[in-house]
Structure 1
Amino acid sequence: MNDLNEKALLSSAARAIEAWDLCVTDISLVSHSENIVFRVDSESGQAYVFRFHRPGYHTLSELHGELQWTAALNSSGIGAPVHRYTRDGNAFINVYLPELSQSRYVSLMEWVEGNAMATMIEQDADESNLVRCFHKAGQLAARIHNQARAWRLPPGFERHAFDAEGLMGEKPFWGPFWQHSELTAAERAQIIHARNQIYGILTEYGKERGTYSLIHADLHPGNLIVTGDHVHIIDFDDSGFGWHQYELAVAISYYQDTPYFDSIREAIIAGYLTERPLQEADIELLPVFVLIRSMVSLGWIEQRPELDSSHKLPTLIERSCEQSKALFGSV
C-alpha cells in the first residue's frame, strides 16, 4: 500500500470513529488484508481495535452472531473480544470507503495487550516451549467447545458452517479449491479423489458425537494473546459451526514442517483431554482434518488474490497431494 492510500484509509477511519463516544488521541493502521484493522488510542488510556470487515464475507446477522458468541464466551470466563457500541447503540455501522469504492461494516473492540503465542514460539522454538504452548492451546480449545456445546443459541443466531458441505461440498465456504488455476491435471485429480473420500467420511461421521459445535476455526498461535498466565483469543472472523478436530488441525497445521510436529500434535491433544474427552476414533480423524485445512486453504487463497499469498501455494499443493496419497492412495 502506498502512503496516499494509507492516508485516505486513516481519514475514513477518523470519520467513522466519530460514531463512538471516544476522545481519540491517535489512529494507526495495523493491517490491510481481508479486513482493514486500525488501532485507536483514547484519552482514557484504553486502546481499541477498529475493524473494517471484508465486504461480502458475512451478513449483518452473522456479524451479530459473532458478537453474541464472544459475549457469551467472556461471560463464561474465556477471554474473547469485547465489542463497544456506538452512541446510538449499534455494534456495527456501514461506512462507504471512497478510496476503495465500496461499503464495509465497521466495528470497535477493546485492544488486548500481551504477546502473541506465535511470537513466543518464534523467540523460543525449543521443543519444550512448543509442547507447553500447544498444551495450553489444546486446553483453551476444549474450554471453547465446552461452552459452545452447553450454550443455548439465541433466537435467529446465524453463522456459516464448516460441515461436509461447507468443507467438501459442491459450493464450499472458501470456494472450489480443486479448481485452483495453479493445479496440474494430476494434482487436480488427486485432490478431487481426496475430496470425494473425505466427503464420505464426514457425512458418515456426522454431527451427533459431541464433537460438533461452534468453533473459532482459526485458533493458531497468532490469534492467542498471552498476558501472564492468561490467554486471550482474538479474531473470530472465521468462527462458525464445525468439528472440534478441525479446530485442532487449524492450530497445528502451520507447524507441519517443523521437526517437532509429532510432539506438537501430541501436546495439543493432551491439553484438550485435560478439559474435554475425545474418543480414540475421534482422534484418529485428526490427520484427515489436517489435510482438509491444507485443501480448503487453496480456495481461500484463490478467493483473495489481492493478498498475494501465491508464495504459499507450492507447499500447500505438495502437502495436499502427498497427504492425500498417504491417506487414500494415488490416482
Structure 2
Amino acid sequence: MNAHPFERLTPDFILDALEAQGYLCDGRILALNSYENRVYQIGLDEAQPIIAKFYRPERWSPAQIQEEHDFTQALVDQELSVVAPLRTAAGHSLLEYQGFGFALFPRRGGRAPELDNPDHLYQLGQTLGRIHQVGRAQAFVARPRLTAEHFGDESVAFIAEQMIPMSLRTAYVSLAEDLLKQIHHAFSRYSDLTYLRVHGDCHAGNLLWRDEHPHFVDFDDSRMAPAIQDLWMLLTDSDRLQRELQLEEVLSGYQEFSDFDARELHLIEPLRALRMLHYSAWLGRRWQDPAFPMHFPWYNTERYWGEHILQLREQLAALQEPVLRRL
C-alpha cells in the first residue's frame, strides 16, 4: 500500500516548515482535532503558541484556498471575530513547504456556545448577519456552490458503487432516490434564491464563546450557498416548538444586519438530508487515510449502514412535515 501524503508530516517536517518561515520553535507540537486537514499547535520561543494547518493535498486548489483566506480577512477588516490566517511581510497567507500547502493562525480559545440559551442564539444570529453582509459583497470565483448534485447525487452514487454492502444496496438506493427526488424538487422550486459566501460548516465545534461573544473558526468548507446553510445547524432541539423558538432568536438577531428570504426555511430539511448523505460518502472517500479507520472504527460495518438507512428513512419523513415557522 502506498504511503498516505500526511505520513510525511513528521515532527521534524512540521518544525522545519515553520522555521523556514522565520519562526523559532521550542519543539512542542500538539495535534489538534482535525481529520480533513492536519492541524497542530506549535510552541514558539518567547511567544504564544501558533496554529499550523497543513491542507489535504488535491482537495482545494491554491486559488480556492486563497479565496477562503481573503474572505476571512475581509471579515476581520470589518471587525468581526473570526480566525483569519496570518500573513507574511509580503502579504502571503498560503504558504508552501516541500509540496505541502499550509497556513498559520493565531491561537484562540473559548468554549462551545449554549444553543439552548436565547441570548447566545441571538448574538450568533447577529454575527452571522454581519458575516453574510460581507459575504454578499462579492462572489467566490474558484470555490464551488453547494448543490444537490455534488452533495447528494455524487455521494449516493459513490456509496452505492463502492461502500454499501450488497445485502443493503437495494434498500439504500431506493430510499436515497426518494430522498434525492424531494431534495431536487425543493431546490428547483426556489431556484432564484440568493447565493452568497457563507461559512459552510456552522456546527457548534466551529463556534467559540469567549468574553460573552461568539467567535467563528475554520472556514475550510466555505462556499456559495443560501444564507440558511449557516443558520439551520443552530436549531438543535428535538422538539419542534423549541426549534421554532431557537429560529426566532437566531433570525431576530440576523435581521438586524441582513435581509432574510423566508422561502429558505423550506431548505432546512433538504440541506440536513444532503449533509447526511455527504458525510457518509466523505468518510468513505477518506478511508485510505489512516486517521479515519482509527477514529471512526464503526464506519463501514453492517450495523453502521443499517442505522444510516434508518436515519435516512426518518429524514425522508421529516421532509414531509410542515416547514418551521416564525413565532
Partner of 1:220: 203
Question: What is the letter of the counterpart of residue 20 of structure 1?
Answer: Q
Partner of 1:99: none
Q: Say yes or no: does 1:166 pair with 2:150.
A: yes
Does the 8 Å contact 2:17/2:97 carry over to 1? yes
Partner of 1:95: 97
Pairing partner for 1:298 from 257, 266, 280: 280
TM-score (norm 1): 0.78
Does the 8 Å contact 1:177/1:297 carry over to 2? no
Q: Say yes or no: does 1:238 pair with 2:247.
A: no
Distance of 1:114 and 1:218 partners within structure 2? 18
Q: Aligned in 2, Cα 1:137/1:303: closer, same or farther, shift over 3 Å? A: farther
Partner of 2:128: 141
Distance of 1:148 and 1:106 partners within structure 2? 24
Distance of 1:60 and 1:316 partners within structure 2? 35
Q: Aligned in 2, Cα 1:276/1:316: closer, same or farther, shift over 3 Å? A: farther
Q: Aligned in 2, Cα 1:319/1:267: closer, same or farther, shift over 3 Å? A: farther
Distance of 1:166 and 1:283 partners within structure 2? 21
Matches within 5 A, 1:170-319: 171=154, 176=158, 180-181=163-164, 184-206=169-191, 208-210=192-194, 212-252=195-235, 255=236, 261=243, 263-305=245-287, 306=289, 307-308=292-293, 309=296, 311=298, 313=304, 316-319=308-311
Distance of 1:205 and 1:189 partners within structure 2? 25
Pairing partner for 2:65 from 63, 66, 79: 63
Question: What is the letter of the counterpart of residue 262 of structure 2?
Answer: E
Partner of 1:327: 319
What is the SS of the residue equivalent to 1:31?
Answer: coil
Give how far 1:34 is off.
2.0
Partner of 1:22: 23
Unaligned runs of 5+ in 2: 1-5, 322-327
Give how far 1:6 is off.
9.3
Q: Aligned in 2, Cα 1:77/1:176: closer, same or farther, shift over 3 Å? A: farther
Q: Deviations over 1:294-317 (max 9, x none)?
A: 222222222222424364755544
Unaligned runs of 5+ in 1: 97-102
Give how far 1:65 is off.
0.8
RMSD: 3.2
Question: What is the letter of the counterpart of residue 298 of structure 1?
Answer: S
Q: Deviations over 1:11-66 (max 9, x none)?
A: 21111111222232333222352211111233453332101111221011111111
Q: Aligned in 2, Cα 1:302/1:133: closer, same or farther, shift over 3 Å? A: farther
Partner of 2:3: none
Give how far 1:133 is off.
3.1
Does the 8 Å contact 2:112/2:204 carry over to 1? yes
Give how far 1:248 is off.
2.0
Does the 8 Å contact 2:37/2:54 carry over to 1? yes
Aligned length: 301
Distance of 1:144 and 1:104 partners within structure 2? 30
What is the SS of the residue equivalent to 2:10?
Answer: helix
Does the 8 Å contact 2:126/2:255 carry over to 1? yes
